[in-house]
Amino acid sequence: MGAMKSALRILVTGGTFDKEYHELEGRLYFQQTHIPEMLRLGRCQLEVQIETLMLIDSLDMGDAERARIVAACRAASEERLVITHGTDTMERTARLLGPLPLGKTIVLTGAMVPYTFGSSDGLFNLGSALAFAQTMPPGTYVAMNGCCFPWNDVRKNRVEGVFEPRSADAPGAGA
């Protein structure tokens, strides 16, 4: 299968997904992405290209960072993309990508607990996102909490720590 075009591309941007504990400094930080390790753990047989764009907390994302994400989505030869992203501003990046005529299925996902910590939702979300990326029609989506939300109808409920439709009646809705 050496010459086959990748079925999927994973664009890594960091977020809680890839945070680690720095034992000498006693703080959380990024060293490298754990996506390859997670795909091995899941015994994933899909043809996947992994591209690390950045490793940052999504609260630290500005226009320049988001522009790089958009550019990577355009440049990808694959038609199906998964973007790992911090959950705090995931909906913002989704709303930037959503209106663009990219002709690709783009699924953003993340984690509430770092993969390296155990008790993480990371593996579950990755399996979920890769599945939705294979089946959803072209468009931008957020895959969190087992659900797949269209880009224009999702928000993070910051009180509960879960994602829900924008139309849901819930406090703590963010922009």
As measured in angstroms, the least distance from the Cβ of 160 to a second copy is 8
What count of residues does the chain have?
Answer: 175
Q: Which residue has the tokens 């399996």?
A: 127
Q: Which residue has the tokens 């899909």?
A: 46
**H-helix segments, 76-121:** 90-97
Question: Angle formed by the axes of helices 90-97 and 63-75, to 10°?
Answer: 50
As measured in angstroms, the least distance from the Cβ of 60 to a second copy is 12
Give me the 114-153 binding string for a second copy, x by CB under 8 A, dash otherwise.
Answer: x-xxxxxx-xxxxxxxxxx-xxx------xxxxxx-----
Give me the 70-89 binding string for a second copy, x by CB under 8 A, dash otherwise.
Answer: ------------------x-
As measured in angstroms, the least distance from the Cβ of 48 to a second copy is 8
Q: Which is nearer to a second copy, 85 or 114 (CB)?
A: 114
Spell out where the chain has E strands. Answer: 8-14, 20-22, 27-29, 48-56, 80-84, 105-109, 139-144, 147-150, 155-157, 162-164
As measured in angstroms, the least distance from the Cβ of 27 to a second copy is 8
Q: Which is nearer to a second copy, 37 or 67 (CB)?
A: 37
In DSSP terms, 21 is beta-bridged to 28
As measured in angstroms, the least distance from the Cβ of 84 to a second copy is 14
Q: Which is nearer to a second copy, 70 or 136 (CB)?
A: 136
In DSSP terms, 51 is beta-bridged to 11
Scanning 67-75, 92-100, 155-163 for contacts with a second copy by CB under 8 A, the matching segment is: 155-163
Answer yes or no: are the C-beta atoms of 86 and 13 closer than 8 Å: yes
Burial (CB count within 10 angstroms: exposed 0-12, middle 13-18, buried 19+), residue 66: middle
Q: Which is nearer to a second copy, 5 or 43 (CB)?
A: 43
Rule CB under 8 A: which residues touch a second copy?
16, 21, 23-24, 26-28, 38-39, 41-46, 57, 88, 112-114, 116-121, 123-132, 134-136, 143-148, 158-159, 161-164
